[in-house]
Amino acid sequence: MPRWANALPDREELLETKRKAIVREAAKVFNRRGSHGATLDDVAERLGVTKAALYRYVQSKQDLLYACHEEAMEIARESMDRGEAEGRNGLEKIQIGMAGYLREMIGAMGVPVLILEENALTGKQAKHIIALRDDFEERMRRLVREGIADGSILPLNPKLAMFMLLGAVHWVTKWYSPEGAWSADEVANALIEMATRGLAAKPSKELTANIHK
């Protein structure tokens, strides 16, 4: 009989949980100091551990930067999975998926400006992240085309629509502060609703997620 009836995570699961926590905290450090200015010492200090302890989970600063980018793309994938599962049409799928993506990015990862720093990665790591990003963008275009076909989105250029939405979402990293008046939920819901009104074939008369602070 398995010890504790598998009620407790095994060693590999614990290591992965700790590694994910390190990646998300590292993203916050890179945001404040920039990917070039931040060091592993800075990350270790934020986590309250030694740099030697970090080496159990990452091999170098470049490895950690790469992990941050991978985490961002995993958030994007999971958010769009939810959007496609819960949305009733192309527009709703985009709204749910993009709101979830933005909520996680500015909430759990602390406004990761580093996702806009494409030159922070090189070689195979850069190629892999670019491929993941291309897949994400193609998924967005496909949902726009789906919305046009089902009548929820106006006939427009899917590529331009995707660039508009991602531009609005990623620009949040330049001005949002977790210590400000708006929560990640408020910003994500309001901004995605406003950004997608220009796509909607039948936009509602009022904004349901408007914020007034």
Query: What does the pLDDT average to over 139-143?
Result: 96
Superfamily of domain 65-197: Tetracycline Repressor, domain 2 (1.10.357.10)
* Sign of the alpha-carbon torsion through 82, 73, 105, 165: negative
Pick from 212, 164, 165, 204: which is nearest to 186 by CA?
212
Q: CA 147 to CA 51: how far, in whole Å?
A: 49
Give the total residue count for the chain: 213
Query: What does the pLDDT average to over 101-118?
Result: 71
Query: What does the pLDDT average to over 25-49?
Result: 78
Three-state DSSP class for residue 141: helix
Which residue did the predictor score with more confidence, 173 or 193? Answer: 193
Which residue reads 């091999």 in tokens? 59
Portion of the chain with pLDDT greater than 90, in percent: 38
Lowest mean pLDDT among 30-34, 41-45, 74-78, 203-207: 30-34
Write out pLDDT tens, residues 166-191.
988 888 877 888 788 888 899 999 99
User: 208 φ, ψ to 5°?
Assistant: -80, -25
pLDDT band at 141; cut points 50, 70, 90:
very high
